[in-house]
Amino acid sequence: MHRNPYASPNAFAGAPVLAEAWERAAFIRKTYLHLGLAILAFTGLECALMVSPLPDMMMKMLSGSGYAWLAVLGVFMLVGWMARAFACSEQPLSMQYIGLGLYVVAQAIIFVPLLTYAIRFSNPDVLPTAAVLTLTLFAGLTGVVLVTRKDFSFLRSLLMVGGF
């Protein structure tokens, strides 16, 4: 039986925000390492998928029926739910990594038709420009946070509203 960590009065006792500075730094390093490796795995898998027959097969399948994309989104939702259940902190570390890997694979597959559409029907410079802009913005924000040690959690509300 799983125990809800939010049900106890000591729910946040092990939260990183309450930890010592060196523990928070180690947590951030591990988080960025896992994020970086997941993005690297996504990029490599996406490149491999884009040179395979999969883009043509998916575009053909998605153009054949009005409900095909709905089915793809439904499968993606189920796989995302499974990956989240595997990655739950109550699971063994190996299951958490399986959850991360499953989610990376699901993201790579769902991006295939999106990138295929962008490649076929837009300016060829769109994807490289988007990649460079994203990497530059991410590196810049990360650098500012690491150098100034400023807490940007006040932007949460703005990002939540802007995300819609």
36-40, 52-56, 78-82, 86-90: which has the minimum mean pLDDT?
Answer: 86-90
The model's confidence at residue 2, banded by pLDDT at 50, 70 and 90, is low
Q: Do the domain assignments include residue 164? A: no
Q: Count how many domains the chain has.
A: 1
Enumerate residues 6+ apart whose C-beta is below 8 A from 84. 99, 103
Q: Do the domain assignments include residue 6? A: no
The larger pLDDT score, comparing residue 155 to residue 15, is at 155
Q: Do the domain assignments include residue 106? A: yes
pTM of model > 0.95: no
The larger pLDDT score, comparing residue 133 to residue 23, is at 133
Q: What mean pLDDT value characterizes the chain?
A: 85
The model's confidence at residue 73, banded by pLDDT at 50, 70 and 90, is very high
| Domain span including residue 66 | 18-147
Q: Do the domain assignments include residue 8? A: no
Q: Do the domain assignments include residue 87? A: yes
Q: Is the pLDDT of residue 52 over 90?
A: yes
For the residues 79-104, what does the mean pLDDT come to? 92
pLDDT of residue 147: 85
Percent of the chain whose pLDDT exceeds 70: 88
Q: Do the domain assignments include residue 66? A: yes
What is the DSSP code (8-state) at residue 124?
Answer: T
For the residues 34-49, what does the mean pLDDT come to? 93
pLDDT of residue 46: 93
Q: Do the domain assignments include residue 65? A: yes
Q: Do the domain assignments include residue 81? A: yes
Q: Please, is 113 exposed, middle or buried when counting C-beta atoms within 10 Å of its C-beta (0-12, 13-18, 19+)?
A: buried
The larger pLDDT score, comparing residue 81 to residue 148, is at 81
What is the DSSP code (8-state) at residue 65?
Answer: -
| Alpha helical stretches, state H, the chain | 21-50, 54-64, 68-87, 93-121, 126-148, 156-162
